[in-house]
Structure 1
Amino acid sequence: MLRATGLFAGLVAATLAAASATSATVVHAVPADPGVVVGDPIDDPALGVEGASQVVTFTYRTAGAEGTSSGQLLVPKGAAPEGGWPIVAWAHGTVGMADGDAPTRSGVVYDLYRTLFADWLQRGFMIVATDYAGLGTAGVHPYLNADVAAHNVVDSVRAARELVPAASERWAVAGQSQGGHAALATAARAADLAADLDFRGTFASGAPTNLDRLVGLAGPDFPDLRLDGLTLYIAYIAAGLRASRPDLDVNGYLTPQGRELVDAADTTPLAQFKPIANGIAVRDLFARPLAGTPFPQAVTDYLGVPSTGFEQPLMLVQGLADRVVPPVLTLWYAADLTLAGERFTLRLPSGGHVEGLGQSVPEVGAFLDRLLH
């Protein structure tokens, strides 16, 4: 059994004592024709993966930012099976907020992702991978906005089916880190957003569930939790929240140094932004404690993931050595799912944030096989 000790245990206990009401959904304008491809799709072999017969980059209409997102589809080799290629909608982990960091521009981030994609293509799955709104397209990327991410994923599937007539209506969502969060957000909304499609289930690895509870405790006295990249992620959340909720006056909660960092988040490539953010403590971002203000509820409304509404199979992977998303947050979420009567599979490999997923490739592939074949 994993135990939270010391300071982090205290923070978890304090947050557990808070009310845990289901978060509200932040509503965003959705185009009249979500999922419709705009512009000319591009055959993009430079971003190819082993086992793909075709790689296409495209732009489509969706919610968030200025109403569009870019994405990529990978078609397996050979003839489509009866009923068409089953679809895995892939939601990527954090790559940055600058347009140049979008996977359709920068390529596949991790060799592990290539391994996953090659395995899925071999199993006969067509892969559809959104960049998310505002990442590679106009506007500020609403980082970890659950509602927007769900729309982006669903609409990317519709766009891919427009481009590939041999694609099936059967689909599942899979994601890692930021994408694990997007996958869970998508699954909980699939019945409403994708009633015209045949949604089969969800895989999520290293998803930052319950992160809103942790962010809500931030302030000038916030301790050093020794989590990798926490300042960067909070700056990204603040930048996305500021663009989505101008009524909240996010700047009013930030120090001058915090405003400067948040101002740079959406335009600075990750390679340059990460070392800057890593040199700043979370406490130095905030001019006052967030507890007791409208900010924590706004964060929950923005990125909170529900623990009910999963009508199809769900698989979670959480590396026990993860220093980006602490295992205790995922175990807490698993407890919430259990108390809500949800059925799910939880895999706890020994590796870290990305390594834990690497240790689970065969199990993830087998899970998706059961869903889609």
Structure 2
Amino acid sequence: MRRILKTTLISAVLLSWLTAGSGTVVGQSLGPNIKDGPQGSIFWDDVPSKVPADARRGQIYWVQERSDAPSDSKGWNVIYVTEAVDGSLTYASGEIYIPTRPDGGQRQLVLWNHETAGSQDSCAPSRRSLVSAYGPRIPGLDELLKKGFVVVGSDYQGLGTPGATVYLNGSAQARASLDAARFAQSFPGANVGPKFTTYGWSQGGQTSLWLAHLQEKYAPELDLIGVGEIAPASRHWDLTEYDLTTTVTGGYYIMRMAGLHVGRVDLKLRDVLSIDGLEMLEHLSSGCWDLAAATTGNPTTLYANQEGLKPGTPWRKLLDENDAFLPTKNVPFVFFQGDKDDAVPVGQTRKVAADLCADGVTVDYRESAGLGHENIVPVAAAALPGWFVQRFEGAKAVSACPRIK
């Protein structure tokens, strides 16, 4: 009897996994204008390669309800329209979380920009559970929902959906993120207005900077009012110079070059990757962190062709273009950075914060002694919900500019 029961339970679990997918449930219709997507991984895999010419950026293609939303909230995966690197329309995946208690009026929107997750489709944040062995996947999500915020985020182009993954291409990722904010405007039950705050960690920190640069031009109907930065991977060239001195970031270097190469048939990866670096590209499709595991311990110089990085070369010009996120919209920023970060050195974040200050932006800079790239995240998660409340209330933001060097 126990063996039969155990077999039945295992079969039920397997059936549930095969039909619903990780973190998803059989969705209930949200109305005649919102299409329920299929359950399981085909929700992402069966997305059409072509977008109708009359589609709008931020238009929802289909949705899939999640089963792991925090208490007193509901969550959905969403396929929606955004721009590809070349400006053509494409589909991207994302997610949205909405409090279930009555809102008593218009809700406020927070836009999350995720960190490096890998480049294989199964690594996409919306395909994964909200809780992992490392803690909450979206920092501060529970507290944000308790405060009544709607939280939305993008997987960015090509991560989760068909097509090449656009990794650390700041302007492209910012457009995907802004289009996630757009789909939140029309999502049933969200009831959000045009004002929003945004925050991001690492890769998502770069997205947030570019988002603040592009919002008024790309999505003028929206209104960004505050930006949270958690150890942002801000500038390609600064990161590249740092990578070439380490034995721990070779995988990031290879991923960045592969991500910037998307849509650029005029450039050759062999101009910035050595033979050893080119051989490592196969790890991008074999697992979320296989590339990091395969390269850690070896000097990044083993994988780089430094000739292609010299000033005036096509690749160096592209790196410089991807670093041109200034000026940003003049809204308050808050930075969280550990001084022991070996992925994004503290000096790089101080420099970005100082540059924003020089542009007249109000910057609150919070540096934590002894913390690195991962354990700075709980510090930010504890502080950001209250900081976002202050932005929507119109409170005067604190400036640390006089002491940032």
Offset at residue 138 of structure 1 (A): 1.3
Aligned residue identity for 1:202: V
With a CA cutoff of 8 Å and minimum separation of 6, indicate the structure with the bigger relative contact order.
1
Offset at residue 365 of structure 1 (A): 1.5
Per-residue CA deviation, residues 209-249 of structure 1 (Å, 9 max, x unaligned), is 2332342687xxx43x35x4x11111111111222322122
Aligned residue identity for 2:277: G
Distance 1:52 1:206 in 2: 30
Q: Structure 2 matches for 1:95-174, cutoff 5 A? A: 95-108=117-130, 110-113=134-137, 116-165=140-189, 166-174=191-199
Distance 1:321 1:183 in 2: 22
Q: Percent identity?
A: 23
Do 1:216 and 1:291's aligned partners in 2 also have CA atoms closer than 8 Å? no
Offset at residue 305 of structure 1 (A): 4.7
Q: Which position in structure 1 is the counterpart of 2:379?
A: 359
The range that moved more, 336-345 or 127-136, is: 336-345
The one of 228, 231, 244 aligned to 1:203: 228
Q: Which position in structure 2 is the counterpart of 1:35?
A: 58
1:36/1:246 Cα in 2 relative to 1: closer, same or farther (>3 Å)? same
Offset at residue 160 of structure 1 (A): 2.1
Distance 2:277 2:382 in 1: 42
Distance 1:182 1:274 in 2: 22
1:164/1:343 Cα in 2 relative to 1: closer, same or farther (>3 Å)? same
The one of 344, 347, 361 aligned to 1:325: 344
Offset at residue 85 of structure 1 (A): 1.5
Q: Structure 2 matches for 1:37-76, cutoff 5 A? A: 37-38=60-61, 40-45=62-67, 47-48=68-69, 50-64=70-84, 67-76=90-99
Offset at residue 279 of structure 1 (A): 4.6
1:210/1:33 Cα in 2 relative to 1: closer, same or farther (>3 Å)? same
Give structure 1 regions of 4+ aligned residues with deviation exceeding 3 angstroms.
29-32, 112-115
The total of aligned residue pairs comes to 333
The one of 184, 188, 192 aligned to 2:209: 184
With normalisation by structure 2, the TM-score equals 0.77
1:264/1:326 Cα in 2 relative to 1: closer, same or farther (>3 Å)? same
Offset at residue 30 of structure 1 (A): 12
Q: Which position in structure 1 is the counterpart of 2:287?
A: 269
Offset at residue 112 of structure 1 (A): 4.1
1:217/1:371 Cα in 2 relative to 1: closer, same or farther (>3 Å)? closer
1:115/1:180 Cα in 2 relative to 1: closer, same or farther (>3 Å)? closer
1:370/1:215 Cα in 2 relative to 1: closer, same or farther (>3 Å)? same
Larger Rg: 2
The range that moved more, 58-67 or 200-209, is: 58-67
Per-residue CA deviation, residues 240-265 of structure 1 (Å, 9 max, x unaligned), is 12223221222233222211223542
